[in-house]
Amino acid sequence: MGIVNIDDDLHDQLRKASVVSCRSINAQAAFWIKVGMLCEMSPTQSFNEIVAQEFRAAGVVTQAIKVASA
């Protein structure tokens, strides 16, 4: 494990995103790093395709969820 030096503005964005995603700041940074790496390795796939692929690899059953309009 090491320390990563990031810009204050990026840290602020991490903090805000971590609240929305219910993750710690470190977990949010790790998520962004992993997704960024996967995107670079698979430039033809969309974010949603990459996340779905990771869910499948982890054994998570994914299916479309329909939300009824009020």
The answer to whether the CB of 19 falls within 8 A of the CB of 8 is no
- pTM score of the predicted model: 0.73
- Tell me the domain boundaries of the chain: 8-57
Q: What is the largest CA-CA distance in the chain?
A: 48
What pLDDT score was predicted for residue 49? 92
**For the segment 12-56, what is each residue's pLDDT rounded down to a tens digit?**
999 999 999 999 999 999 999 999 999 999 999 999 999 888 888
Give the distance, in angstroms, between the CA of residue 30 and the centroid of all CA atoms in the same chain: 8
Is residue 70 very low, low, confident or very high in pLDDT (cuts 50, 70, 90)?
Answer: low
pLDDT of residue 18: 95
18 within 8 A of 24, measured Cβ to Cβ: yes
